[in-house]
């Protein structure tokens, strides 16, 4: 059984040590309860949480891959901005976002896959849960500084079919995990006409971004799904976040914005974003220069990626670096007038 322990938020009225009360001290919860933590003993404590996800259709595969990469860097900051999950089982928690809760709730890796035992029954040691931040960029390999675990046979099959290395590794990476569910009526399929076998794998790898190929025999094109947003209390707030991300995608494409930082730093950003009140208290790695420089006029600088990014507050990122989306909105409104 999956068990999550979530640190309780302590104020002046919280008992120390805090111990959750159960109807029976001899029951599973009573026996396993951990001091100063909330006991979450089922997948439903994670997957029962609400969220706000937005899917964008790109004009082609190249644009979809660009959007996937650039939006991925923004995921931790926007998650911190939208943080809205502070209460679990009636107790205030030390995290105020859903991300780490779901990550633990659906983490079905075996001891071998966690690296706790030598590989015998399983094929791969997996460094993360099936619900986590992305593990690689799709449009550029330059900032992929974390080893990507993928199925070599699937990778070679895709390569033989003409798929490039980056995309082939991404798809093969999805296949290092088993499916969560399988429907009897969907077992036998014509894979040239239906894609349910692939979607069964794709849809149970829950990452901060999702790259969505066109379904067969459909007018639907290449899409990317932006997944980190927390659902808000009102329709107005939900709409505001959606419009912000929509404008951001237009700015990325119109101004050719470059948000790239190493994958390892983006993963560190997500850990920071999960901390309580991260939008005000934390700092995030972000690029110093997001607008492409004129190669003829820009000063010569080191090729070291470490000089390209620094720690910034969410306020500096959104109201400073990412304010290009507001410039785009202003330009668009002027054009329409």
Is 137 a residue whose pLDDT tops 90?
A: yes
pLDDT at 300 over 50: no
| Number of neighbours of residue 226 by Cβ within 10 angstroms | 26
Residue 26, pLDDT score: 62
pLDDT, averaged across the chain: 87
Answer whether the bond into residue 223 is a cis peptide, omega within 30°: no
pLDDT tens by residue, 165-214: 999 999 999 999 988 877 788 788 877 788 888 888 888 889 999 999 99
- Burial code (b: 16+ CB inside 10 Å, e: under 16) for 9-31 equals beeeeeeeebebeeeeeeeebee
H or E element, residue 241: helix 235-255
* Out of 14-28, 45-59, 103-117, 152-166, least confident range: 14-28
> What does DSSP assign to residue 2?
-
Strands 206-207 and 131-132: parallel
pLDDT over 90 (residue 218): no
The backbone torsions φ and ψ at residue 200, rounded to the nearest 5 degrees and listed phi first, read -65, -35
Closest CA to 134 of 65, 185, 190, 181: 65
Q: Minimum mean pLDDT among 111-120, 149-158, 300-309: which range?
A: 300-309
Q: How confident is the model at residue 24 (pLDDT cuts 50, 70, 90)?
A: low
How deeply is 273 buried, as exposed, middle or buried, from its count of CB atoms within 10 A (0-12, 13-18, 19+)? Answer: buried
- DSSP-derived 3-state class of residue 71: helix
Q: What is the pLDDT of residue 210?
A: 96
Closest-CA residue to 125 (of 144, 106, 148): 148
Residue 4 has φ and ψ, to the nearest 5°, of: -115, 135
Angle between helices 324-336 and 235-255 (to 10 degrees): 90
**Residue 60 CA, distance from chain mean position:** 22
DSSP 3-state assignment of 111? coil
195-208 tens-digit pLDDT: 888 888 888 889 99
């Amino acid at each position: 059984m999956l068990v999550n322990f979530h640190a309780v938020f302590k104020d002046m009225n919280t008992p120390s040590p805090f111990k959750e009360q159960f109807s029976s001290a001899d029951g599973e919860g009573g026996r396993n309860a951990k001091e100063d933590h909330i006991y979450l003993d089922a997948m439903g404590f994670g997957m029962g949480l609400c969220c706000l996800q937005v899917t964008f259709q790109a004009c082609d595969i190249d644009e979809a891959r660009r959007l996937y990469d650039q939006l991925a860097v923004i995921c931790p900051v926007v998650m911190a901005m939208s943080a809205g999950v502070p209460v679990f089982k009636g107790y205030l928690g030390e995290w105020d976002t859903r991300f780490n809760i779901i990550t633990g709730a659906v983490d079905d890796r075996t001891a071998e896959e966690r690296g706790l035992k030598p590989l015998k029954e399983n094929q791969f040691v997996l460094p993360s849960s099936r619900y986590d931040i992305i593990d690689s960029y799709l449009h550029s390999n330059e900032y992929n500084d974390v080893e990507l675990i993928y199925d070599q046979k699937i990778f070679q099959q895709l390569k033989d079919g003409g798929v490039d290395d980056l995309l082939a590794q991404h798809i093969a990476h999805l296949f290092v995990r088993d499916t969560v569910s399988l429907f009897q009526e969907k077992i036998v399929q014509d894979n040239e006409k239906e894609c349910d076998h692939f979607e069964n794998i794709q849809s149970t790898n829950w990452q901060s971004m999702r790259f969505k190929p066109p379904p067969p025999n459909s007018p639907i094109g290449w899409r990317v799904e932006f997944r980190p947003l927390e659902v808000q209390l009102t329709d107005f707030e939900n709409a505001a976040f959606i419009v912000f991300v929509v404008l951001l995608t237009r700015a990325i494409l119109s101004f050719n914005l470059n948000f790239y930082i190493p994958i390892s730093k983006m993963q560190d950003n997500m850990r920071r974003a999960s901390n309580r009140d991260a939008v005000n208290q934390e700092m995030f790695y972000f690029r110093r220069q997001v607008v492409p420089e004129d190669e003829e006029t820009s000063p010569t600088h080191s090729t070291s990626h470490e000089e390209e990014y620094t720690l910034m507050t969410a306020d500096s990122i959104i109201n400073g670096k990412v304010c290009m989306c507001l410039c785009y909105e202003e330009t668009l409104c002027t054009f329409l007038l």
